[in-house]
Amino acid sequence: MSALKKTAITSAPIHSLIRERWSPRAFADRPVEAEKLRSLFEAARWAASSYNGQPWNFIVATKSDPENYRKVLDCFVEFNQSWAKSAPVVALSVAKLKFEHNGELNRHAFHDVGAASATLTIQAEELGLAVHQMGGILPEKAREIFGIPEGYEAVAGIAIGYPGEAHTLPDHLKAPEVAPRERKALDSFVFTGKWGKVLPIVGGKA
């Protein structure tokens, strides 16, 4: 549900919220309502996680809080700052690296934070919002600025808002914004039996 439709061309039926979801860099100059923003993090709250450890944390700021907005933006690499600064909401996802129930290393912490972020993006699509997640952040700067304790690590940056128009972006970002979405074919990553042996149902063989 975005201003610029980039509907996925799929090889099998999938839910429309997944088919329509994509990661724009252009955002409208419009705040996100508090109740909608709350719904995004409620969706993240109900993601699946190893041992129900729920290792996700989010540091969030809106443009109505300029000081903290700037702090979050400063944790993005320069390239991502150049476009994310138009989003009305910016955030950092943070992983708790050890299980609470036994203190052992949670090898799946980043995976589970990603799962929570994914449910957040689908809820955003349902509400007419757009989300762009980014790996280009400065984890140690985030630790310093926000006092992230040992045992936790910043995972990704997140820009949230209503989708905007491609023409508002810098010239070098306009073409990627309107380019068709592309994905690897299923037979390049879904295997059975041994690595590289394609699962027949995705390779066109029943």
Q: Where are the domains of the chain?
A: 16-168, 181-206
Interval 135-161: pLDDT, tens: 999 999 999 999 999 999 999 999 999
Q: Confidence band (pLDDT; 50, 70, 90) for 203?
A: confident
For residue 27, the cross-strand partners are 163
Look at residue 204 in the predicted model and tell me its pLDDT: 61
Using alpha carbons only, what angle is made at residue 143 by residues 139 and 148, rounded to the nearest 5 degrees?
125
Beginning with the edge strand found earlier in the chain, give each strand of the sheet holding 89-96 in spatial order.
56-62, 89-96, 152-161, 130-134
Interval 39-69: pLDDT, tens: 999 999 999 999 999 999 999 999 999 999 9
The CATH T-level fold of domain 16-168 is NADH Oxidase (3.40.109)
Q: Confidence band (pLDDT; 50, 70, 90) for 3?
A: low
- Half-sphere CA count of 75, side-chain side, radius 13 A: 31
Number of H helices, E strands in the chain: 7, 6
pLDDT of 1 above 80 = no
**83 touches 91 (CB < 8 A):** no
Amino acid found at 15:
H
**4 touches 163 (CB < 8 A):** yes
Averaged pLDDT for residues 91-100? 98
| Predicted TM-score (pTM) above 0.85 | yes
